Amino acid sequence: MANDTDIRPTADEAAAYARDGYFIRKGLLSPDEVEDFRGHARAQLEAEAAAGGIMSKGDKQGNATLLKMWTTAGDDKYGLLARDERMVGLAESTIGAPIYLYSHKMTMKQPREGGAWEWHQDFGYWYNYGCLAPQMNSIYVSLDRATRENGCLQVLKGTHALGRLDHIREDGQTNVSQEHLDAALERFEHVYVEMEPGDALVFHGNLLHRSDANRSDQHRWGYICSYNAVENAPFKRVRDYGNYEELKTVAAGSFKDAA
């Protein structure tokens, strides 16, 4: 079992989340845990991709990011990590209310191939799926070293305080409107969030973020779990995922015991 310092933000992390809209928990997963989870995911999901069973999301330049989303959190490695007490503790503490798992997915930027994601807020489209309030956040677990060269996440520091901005649908992505983006880029610090394998980025649903294409010879995979306050569950059913389902937390590292 994890101790309290593993599953709750430190005072500095909590202050950063309130001020900046995000913080990085260094080494949330140990090297052994990263190797176990990444090795399993790489073998399974690359095989699925080769068989045409993985979603592909394109960008304006024609590059594609592979995407795998799950509609529920079962007892496989993915579901168990989504329910890991460390993940749940960080999400619930920052949201400040009882939570459930809204979605979990793998984003796979292959070497010299993975595409870009344009500037957006996650709540920019979650709102349209029936979630009234931004009592939502995500935890991005880096499975590979994330750098500027391989398309690491970028954020506009503090933009979670702006509230939900207008978004438009462009090239298969939901992006913040250009005039709001231009103003935000002038006023807020632009940060490239470089991470080591096992680091976790905890970020608010209204934080503006994006990523570039992978221009390197390295993989850039990340596992993303998004959480929602139980009281903020969608008032309508729009997607097969995101609807309330009781979150059954498991002990830290339980995913290593899954086949």
CATH number at residue 167: 2.60.120.620
Residue 195 lies in a domain: yes
CB 192 within 8 A of CB 24: no
Residue 194 lies in a domain: yes
Give the number of domains in the chain. Answer: 1
CB 93 within 8 A of CB 10: no
Average predicted confidence (pLDDT) for the chain: 95
Neighbour count for residue 150 (Cβ, 10 Å)? 24
Q: Which helix (H) or strand (E) is 170 found in, with range?
A: strand 167-170
CB 121 within 8 A of CB 165: yes
Please determine, for residue 166, whether its predicted confidence score (pLDDT) is greater than 80: yes
State how far the alpha carbon of 249 is from the alpha carbons of 73, 122, 166, 225, 233, in Å.
Answer: 10, 24, 35, 14, 18
Residue recorded with tokens 């979605």: 103
Distance CA 202, CA 198 (A): 13
Residue 257 lies in a domain: no
pLDDT at 171: 74
Residue 258 lies in a domain: no
Among 105, 119, 142, residue whose Cα is nearest residue 60: 119
The residue-averaged pLDDT of 56-61 equals 82
Distance CA 255, CA 259 (A): 9
pLDDT at 159: 98
Domain residue limits at 70? 4-252
pLDDT at 89: 98
Residue 168 lies in a domain: yes
Residue 226 lies in a domain: yes
Residue 28 lies in a domain: yes
Residue recorded with tokens 């390197």: 216
pLDDT at 59: 83
The residue-averaged pLDDT of 178-183 equals 95
Residue 259 lies in a domain: no
Please determine, for residue 55, whether its predicted confidence score (pLDDT) is greater than 80: yes
Question: Which of 37-46, 49-58, 144-153, 156-165 has the lowest average pLDDT?
Answer: 49-58
